Structure 1
Amino acid sequence: MINFLDKISGVLAKILTGLAGFFLVSMMVLACANMVLRAVWVPVQGTYEMMGFLGAVVASFSLAFAQRNKAHIAVGILLARFPAPVRRGADALTNAVSCAFFILAGIETGKWAAFLVQTNEVSETLQIIYHPFVFASAAGCFALAFVLAVDTLKTLTAEKVA
């Protein structure tokens, strides 16, 4: 069962990272177009807003992949001196607490997006609805929480700790 969940988290992380890459390329194209058009004519209207919206989605969609690949920084100097069961417990506890945090972050971000839908909130410059970007950020938080939950289960059921 854990292997199945691990495969799901891997596929989910890859899909979200692919989307994040697409949005990152979109940001680069938008920034370059804005610079060129600013030099020869007029800048692209709403570039700052779109960069903010897309940047939030890129960051949140990249979280699960970073967690799966341990691409974040980890401070293990202190824990390296403890026995394997203590390291395993600390790792499981850290993953579980982080999972709970990102579940709450996803819930609150989703609530905010739902509020934006209710109030028909639009962006200041472009006057577009932006709740889809907020919902996407909430989805990124939930994806990271899922990966952290799977990591917690893998840590608790591991045969031995490296």
Structure 2
Amino acid sequence: MIDILEKTAVFICRVLAAVAGAALTVMIVLACANMVSRAVYIPVKGTFELMGFLGAVTAGFSLGFSQLTRSHIAVGLLFNRFPEPVRRVLDVVSEGASCVFFIFCANETAKWGMFLLDLGELSETLGIRFYPFVFAVALGCASMAFVLILDILRILRGKEPLKPA
């Protein structure tokens, strides 16, 4: 059962990371197009809004994959000096606190998305609905929490944290 959950987590995080990469690519193209357009004639309308929306997708969707690949900052100076059993307990406590935080973030962000959906809020320049991007960030936080839960289970079973194959 755990193996199925781990494969599912890796698949979900890879898909979200691919979408985050595509969003980042669109951001780069949009920024370049805006700079060239501004120099030649007039800037691209709504660039600031689109950069914000795409930045939210990029940041939110890359969370789970960054946890899988351990490409985030980890402070091991203090933890590495402890014996293995103490280190495992500290890892579980640390990952547990992070998991609770990201579950809270996903829940509150999803609530905010529902509020924006009910409100019908639109962006000022382009008239784009906000809520899909808010839900995207909530999904990214939920994927991070899912990976952290699986990491906790692996640590408790005496295995290394989950990594993509």
Asked whether the two chains share a fold, i.e. TM above 0.5, the reply is yes
**2-side partners of 1:54 and 1:160: how far apart?**
33
Q: 2:107, 2:138 within 8 Å by CA — same for their partners in 1? A: yes
Q: Which runs of 4+ in 1 moved over 4 A?
A: none
Q: 1:84 to 1:90 in 2, by over 3 A?
A: same
Q: Residue type of the partner of 1:83?
A: P
Letter in 2 for 1:12: I
Backbone CA RMSD of aligned residues: 1.4
Instruction: Provide the aligned length of Structure 1 versus Structure 2.
Output: 161
Corresponding position of 1:152? 152
Unaligned 5+ segments in structure 1 are: none
State the identity as a percent. Answer: 52
Aligned to 1:113: 113
Q: Which residue of 2 aligns with 1:77?
A: 77
Q: In 2 relative to 1, CA 155–43 (structure 1 residues): closer, same or farther, beyond 3 Å?
A: same
How high is the TM-score relative to the length of structure 2?
Answer: 0.93
Q: 1:6-36 deviations in whole A, cap 9, x for unaligned?
A: 1111111100000001111111111111111
What does residue range 37-116 of structure 1 map to in structure 2 within 5 Å?
37-116=37-116
Is the contact between residue 6 and residue 150 of structure 1 (CA under 8 Å) also seen in structure 2? yes
SS at match of 2:62: helix
1:18-37 alignment runs, 5 A limit: 18-37=18-37
Does the CA contact (< 8 Å) of 2:154 and 2:160 recur in 1?
no
